[in-house]
Amino acid sequence: MTADGYWAGLLALGAGHGINPAMGWLFAVALGLQRGSRKAVWSALAPLATGHALAMLVTIGAAAAVGSLLPLSTFKWGVAGLLVALGLYRLVRSRHIVYGGMQVNSRELATWSFLMATAHGAGLMVLPLVMGHLPSAEHVHHLSASMVGGSGMEWSGITAAVVHTGGYLLVTGLIAVIVYEKVGVRFLRTAWVNLDLLWAVALVITGVTTVVSF
């Protein structure tokens, strides 16, 4: 994968997360409708993005630390196994996290976003891209090791999380504003596909691809 493809992949995956109402835009719209304020919709976006970014950083940082200690083959199979296991779990049990109700402040909304992204495996889905799908296994292992140092995660992991979250924030904000201003939430009853099901299937496929692509 080229450098341009890598960053585009992170951006696109973030955009894909932003489409899912369970990842935040529906919460932003609900807050706006409840408070009768467009400002409430806009105010929800920064905490949602912050929580999502923290979920990415925690996952990438943990993976980088583990990847620097384990053989590449073990690390690869571990990531693949987690992706498949979480995907199968989401197929069987798709309940969403309930945290704080609708009367939430920015800190609680960011916490909810972090928990939701973590529970959905959003960070895990990024790992195959972060590992690189690069030409050599040695390069992939070097990338994992380079993300951790004496002061914690290096800029490569932070930049990956920021780019990914940028795609998420752009799409989440766009959908939230359109739904609040123009569409309304009634269309969800008839026009919305089961994105939780698609996401669970995507997790399983990504896990299998992680194994066969190296």
Alpha carbon distance 33, 19 (integer Å): 19
Hey, CA dihedral for 198, 7, 55, 62, is it positive or negative?
positive
How far is Cα of residue 191 from the mean position of the Cα atoms in its chain?
Answer: 24
Alpha carbon distance 40, 34 (integer Å): 9
Write down the pTM of the prediction.
0.74
Residue found under tokens 């009768």? 36
φ/ψ (deg, to 5) at 148: -120, 145
Give me the residue spans of the domains in the chain.
3-212
Query: Which residues, in sequence order, are CB contacts of 176 under 8 Å at separation 6+?
Result: 24, 25, 28, 29, 32, 41, 44, 45
Alpha carbon distance 142, 138 (integer Å): 6
Query: Which residues, in sequence order, are CB contacts of 150 under 8 Å at separation 6+?
Result: none
Alpha carbon distance 179, 38 (integer Å): 11
Residue pair 145/153 in contact by the 8 Å Cβ criterion: no
What is the residue-level pLDDT of the chain in tens, covering all 214 positions?
566 677 888 888 888 888 888 788 888 888 888 888 888 899 999 999 999 999 888 888 887 777 777 777 777 788 888 878 877 887 777 665 554 555 667 888 898 888 888 877 778 878 877 765 433 344 444 544 444 443 444 556 788 888 889 999 999 999 999 888 887 766 665 555 566 677 677 777 777 776 666 5
Residue pair 112/160 in contact by the 8 Å Cβ criterion: no
The SS3 call for residue 134 is: coil
Residue 55: CA atoms inside 13 Å, Cβ hemisphere, count?
29
Bridge partners for 98 per DSSP: none
